[in-house]
Amino acid sequence: MNITSQPARCRDELPIARFKQSPGDFKVCELLGFELDGEGEHLWISVSKTGLNTRDVVDQLADIFNTTARDIGYSGLKDKNAITTQWFSVPLAIGLEVPVEIYSIDHTKIARTTRSRKKLRSGSHRHNHFQITLRDLHDCREYLEPRLQRVRDEGFPNYFGKQRFGHGGRNVISARSMFQRKQKLSRFKRGIYLSAARSYLFNKVLDVRVAQENWQTVLPGEVCVLDGSNSVFHCALPDDEIHQRHVDFDLHTSGPLHGRGRSLVTDAVQQLELRCLEGEEILMAGLEQAGLKQERRALRAIAQDLSWRWLDETTLEIEVKLQRGVYATSLLEELVVLQENENAPIAADSDTGDAE
């Protein structure tokens, strides 16, 4: 599998869509999935921003509150070429006024402030809501309508998006170099490379299962993931009940997030995954030595509340709610070949598509 190649499912001819031609073409809003009680020594701030990534806002908040970037909490990373709304937290003692300077950060709007007893931790929010505009779609409305309906009804392959890997897959290349040379890097860069390596191995397995048309089939020896949770269980011999629960989106087939420990899969799935990962010993050993533990990720993602409308004959607007960690670009690549604005920067590790 080429790191930057189109996945197996997209090897047929797909229409080309112009994507992210302006920040307004890609809007994403974090949905916490829980209520805040408004009390405590941490100020939580919902910030809508354009042309700024997460770290840009973190640095400005640290300056305003006279603290360090490490004290600023956030749940997911967002890149620049989008309109994004996300939460941040800042330590602020009870009784202290919110500095008015937060309302003057360029290219931002404060959507809401409240308080909590806890700092906002990475991966805290449950979902992201996306509003995406695809442009210059010529003579393909009849082709796209049934594909949209299929994604809504059946879900889509839960690939990690290309932005996880950087330009030309350089994050995976850097991960191999880091493992071979035992380089000492910043915690941030090291985290990016570890995530890229793990994601690449997962995508290799999913790509083969998509090509074999069994990514939505519970095979003997499967490890299933319960929908909306990290709970997994081994299924040696799937029966009618398991298959029906899969059809009902109650559980999903899964792929490996490599690390230390023995894989839970057995039988046909174990053999398939071993074949898929042949030749990747450097990445696998490096992830183990880094101390990461074996985990599983669902092979299928659900497009919750998926809706769409044609703004004109060549412009399609899509709205969807996705679980945190699911890439919107992976959904879009079920439909079209994405042609991004050539002048738009690609972040080394962005969240506008994966929402981690």
Collapsing DSSP to helix, strand or coil, 108 comes out as strand
Instruction: Say which of 12, 56, 59, 79 is annotated catalytic.
Output: 79
Collapsing DSSP to helix, strand or coil, 190 comes out as helix
**CA pair distance 331, 354, nearest whole angstrom:** 11
Residue 245, φ and ψ in degrees, nearest 5: -65, -35
Q: CA distances (Å), 321 to each of 21, 121, 304, 305, 351, in order?
A: 22, 21, 5, 6, 14
Residue 79 is a catalytic residue: yes
What secondary structure does DSSP assign to 291-329, as a single string? TPBPEEEESEE--EEEEEEEEETTEEEEEEEEETT--HH
- Locate 315 and state its tokens: 């412009």
Neighbours of 244 (CB within 10 A): 10
Q: Hunting for tokens 């031609």 — which residue is that?
A: 21
- Locate 14 and state its tokens: 């797909």
Distance from the Cα of residue 221 to its chain's centroid = 27
Specify burial of residue 274 (Cβ count, 10 A radius: 0-12, 13-18, 19+): exposed
**Contact (CB, 8 A) for 164 and 195:** yes
Q: Please report, as a single letter, which amino acid is at residue 34.
A: F
For residue 156, which of 336, 350, 31 has the smallest C-alpha distance? 336
Catalytic residue positions?
Answer: 79
